[in-house]
Amino acid sequence: MKKVLFVASECVPLVKTGGLADVVGSLPKYLNKDEFDVRIMLPKYMMISEKYKENMQYKTHFQMDLSWRSQYVGIFETVIDGITFYLIDNEYYFAGDKPYGQIYDDLEKFAFFSRACLSALPIIGFQPDIIHCHDWQTGLIPVYLHDSFQGDEFFWGMKTIMTIHNLKFQGIAGIETMKNITGLTDYFFTGDKLGMYGDGNYLKGGIVYADYVTTVSDSYAEEIKTPFYGEGLDGIMNWKSNWLCGIVNGIDYEEYNPETDPLIVKNYNAENFRKEKKKNKKALQQELGLEVDDKKFMIGIVSRLTDQKGLDLIDCVIEEICAEDVQLVVLGTGEEKYENLFKHYAWKYGDRVSANIFYSNERSHRIYAACDAFLMPSLFEPCGLSQLMSLRYGTVPIVRETGGLRDTVEPYNEYEGTGTGFGFMNYNAHEMLRIIRYAKDVYYNHKREWNKIVDRGMAVDFSWPASAKKYEELYRSM
């Protein structure tokens, strides 16, 4: 049996700030248990809910050297949904009400975490064949494995995979600072290793030293080899291209199932959505104080409100988007300028715009179930999960064709009668507006065609088992 250890900074259901947590929490459940023994290692954040902490068993503790200082490392264990979790305890690093804070603090926190994860393995007696690292917070694990841990035969032959969920976040600081934090020597800070324009870079170190690199969609794996998407690492991605692939994320088809979802007002499926789905729309209109009319074209946005998500395009043409025959429902938090933009239009057009400037899982499910279309005009999108959820709920995605959006949404072709959504190529507000108007025209004037788009969208399979098979093939090949 192959042993695989997932190491990450967040994981559902214990701690979540984004899609990374969904992937780390969901994927191990769908890997073949007869062939793979998959366990997860996380920081034991103080903010983790008490109901999970109560079930954590103390295993052991030890002192560990990190650069010039000695630190306490506690190890706790728990089992959730049949998966064993190891939690690294240190209140100095993992206190606070959120997992991330100032970058300098985070760099030290995750240098400690990376070394502690490796140091803990011989003590808990788990010897993985593969350590699967996620994002920059775990980038030092492949580096440390090639450094001080090579002296211990316990670690010989251990392979590492580095999965990039978003290349924008890399863990960067000045070289002297980083040497002080990590305890690594000058040897590691040259341009072909962690060094980058006079700084040190955790993610770059992980990419260079990992045996294989994956990212979360085929298109994104190609895009990050170019200067526009490469975030300064396009050269290294090209150098690593023989050991790089994209595997699209899945979503949990049990949690996101319109037929059984307890959070929505009216359950429905691919057979009866024509009659039943609109009952969710009327319920949401009532709940949010919008004009109650199930024939109005309703567009949903569930997103972090940041530039990356293409909200500057929406800003350009929002007056035209909020036409009289459209309702717009927004859920999420982020940059103040976008929060204020949607609040203003909700004030200006109270009967057709609803700005929910917070995050609620329940409200997100209701938006997926109620809306006719779902807008994602991202500047870049490594994978994206919202378009997969909207397809599952028969809500037609309108996306910019980039990264995972391009790989998962097939643009509608009226001549061939194909497609599961609407797409536009260029990062241009008026091109986006034209596609929104095209979608609206199909919705109002070609209802049969619209329903066929919904049919095709609800029939595609982006569940985890499909993605898990690809990860299994990768593990076997190593």
Model confidence pLDDT, tens digit, residues 165-193: 999 999 999 999 999 999 999 999 999 99
For residue 97, how many C-alpha atoms fall within 13 Å in the half-sphere facing its CB? 0
Whether 450 shows a pLDDT value over 90: the answer reads yes
Model confidence pLDDT, tens digit, residues 265-316: 999 999 999 999 999 999 999 999 999 999 999 999 999 999 999 999 999 9
Question: What is the distance between the alpha carbons of residues 220 and 139, in angstroms, rounded to a whole number?
Answer: 19
Q: How confident is the model at residue 11 (pLDDT cuts 50, 70, 90)?
A: very high
Q: Residue 332: its pLDDT value, please? A: 95
- Percent pLDDT > 90 in the chain is 96
Question: What is the pLDDT averaged over residues 8-13?
Answer: 96
Do 273-461 and 2-250+465-477 fall under one CATH topology? yes
CA-derived radius of gyration, the chain = 23
Question: What is the pLDDT averaged over residues 344-362?
Answer: 96
Whether 27 shows a pLDDT value over 90: the answer reads yes
Whether 18 shows a pLDDT value over 90: the answer reads no
Contact 371, 395 (CB under 8 A): yes
Whether 319 shows a pLDDT value over 90: the answer reads yes
Q: Please give the CATH topology (third level) of the domain spanning 273-461.
A: Rossmann fold (3.40.50)
Chain center to CA of 384: 7
Contact 298, 305 (CB under 8 A): no
Q: Residue 430: its pLDDT value, please? A: 98
Q: Residue 104: its pLDDT value, please? A: 83
Question: What is the pLDDT averaged over residues 11-19?
Answer: 90
Q: Residue 17: its pLDDT value, please? A: 86
396: CB partners within 8 A, 6+ apart? 372, 373, 374, 390, 420, 421, 422, 439, 450, 453, 454, 457
Whether 67 shows a pLDDT value over 90: the answer reads no
Model confidence pLDDT, tens digit, residues 82-131: 999 999 999 999 999 999 998 889 999 999 999 999 999 999 999 999 99
Q: Residue 68: its pLDDT value, please? A: 85
H helical segments located in 304-445: 311-321, 336-348, 361-370, 386-392, 403-408, 429-445
CATH number of 2-250+465-477: 3.40.50.2000
Question: What is the distance between the alpha carbons of residues 203 and 84, in angstroms, rounded to a whole number?
Answer: 26
Q: Residue 265: its pLDDT value, please? A: 97
Per-domain residue ranges for the chain? 2-250+465-477, 273-461
- The shares of helix, strand and coil residues in the chain, as percent rounded to the nearest 5, are 45, 20, 35
